[in-house]
């Protein structure tokens, strides 16, 4: 589904990503881990087209997307949940969900395409249903994060990119997000999850990449990561 191969990206003349390669398959949650400044957010922004790689390739569903702008990447079926959430604070929950909604069909693990509609969103996110008339600024941090994820789903993506969705949230809310991501995975959605919360990542991820100074320094399963004291100690501060 998503293939990132030897990608190099820069901010001005600062060489941030130095040969990043990773894969995400349909129905798989892949976690990108690392300390602040490791290059995780830059990786996800490059995939989305906010930065264009100077070297390397980014392919989505066998199509080269490394030179496309963000709106074109989104139209191909890639949903993005940014770190800052970026919901519209002056719009209601209902308006946030419908303002950019797109007809289409999300992936399904059963092979049957199922569209994301308001009814399905409110089934998965009952708290949003209860607050559908509230304005964005009236929501808690956890509710805003749920709304940001739900809004991305209303684009009916096949691949979902999330940038640290658990940041600043209480453990109970983080657990709810983990449960939602597991449901999305069961529906066949491919997910690339940027995280610093190791416990949440290990709970939901199928495979893990660890970044350090713009490079991938580890890739493997949850069991491989948990047993690698060197990586945990040197790159994840565990």
Q: What is the DSSP string of 95-124?
A: HHHHTT-----B--TTS--B---HHHHHHH
Residue 78, beta-bridge partner list: 159
Q: Does the pLDDT at position 41 exceed 80?
A: yes
Domain 2-235, second-level architecture = 3-Layer(aba) Sandwich (3.40)
Domain edges within the chain: 2-235
pLDDT digits (tens, 9 = 90+) for 119-157: 989 988 889 999 999 998 999 888 898 899 999 999 889
Q: What is the DSSP letter of 86?
A: -
pLDDT digits (tens, 9 = 90+) for 59-92: 999 999 999 999 999 999 999 998 877 888 899 9
Q: What is the per-residue pLDDT for 16? A: 93
pLDDT digits (tens, 9 = 90+) for 177-186: 888 888 888 8
pLDDT digits (tens, 9 = 90+) for 180-230: 888 888 888 999 999 888 888 888 899 999 999 999 999 999 899 999 999
Q: Does the pLDDT at position 111 exceed 80?
A: no
E strand intervals along 25-174: 29-33, 55-60, 63-64, 78-81, 159-163
């Amino acid at each position: 589904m998503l293939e990132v191969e030897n990608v190099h990206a820069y901010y001005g003349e600062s060489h941030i990503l130095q040969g990043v390669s990773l894969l995400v398959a349909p129905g798989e949650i892949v976690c990108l881990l690392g300390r602040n400044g490791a290059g995780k957010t830059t990786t996800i922004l490059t995939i989305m087209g906010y930065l264009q790689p100077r070297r390397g390739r980014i392919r989505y569903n066998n199509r080269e997307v490394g030179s496309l702008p963000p709106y074109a990447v989104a139209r191909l079926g890639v949903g993005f949940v940014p770190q800052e959430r970026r919901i519209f604070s002056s719009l209601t929950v209902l308006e946030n969900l419908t303002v950019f909604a797109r007809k289409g069909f999300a992936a399904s693990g059963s092979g049957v395409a199922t569209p994301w509609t308001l009814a399905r969103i409110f089934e998965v996110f009952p708290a949003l249903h209860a607050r559908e008339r509230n304005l964005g600024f009236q929501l808690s941090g956890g509710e805003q994060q749920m709304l940001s994820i739900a809004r991305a789903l209303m684009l009916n993506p096949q691949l979902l990119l999330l940038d640290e969705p658990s940041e600043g949230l209480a453990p109970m809310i983080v657990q709810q997000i983990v449960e939602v991501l597991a449901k999305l995975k069961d529906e066949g959605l491919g997910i690339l999850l940027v995280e610093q919360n190791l416990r949440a990542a290990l709970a939901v991820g199928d495979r893990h990449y660890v970044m350090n100074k713009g490079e991938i320094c580890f890739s493997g399963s949850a069991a491989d990561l948990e047993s690698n004291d060197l990586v945990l100690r040197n790159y994840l501060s565990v």
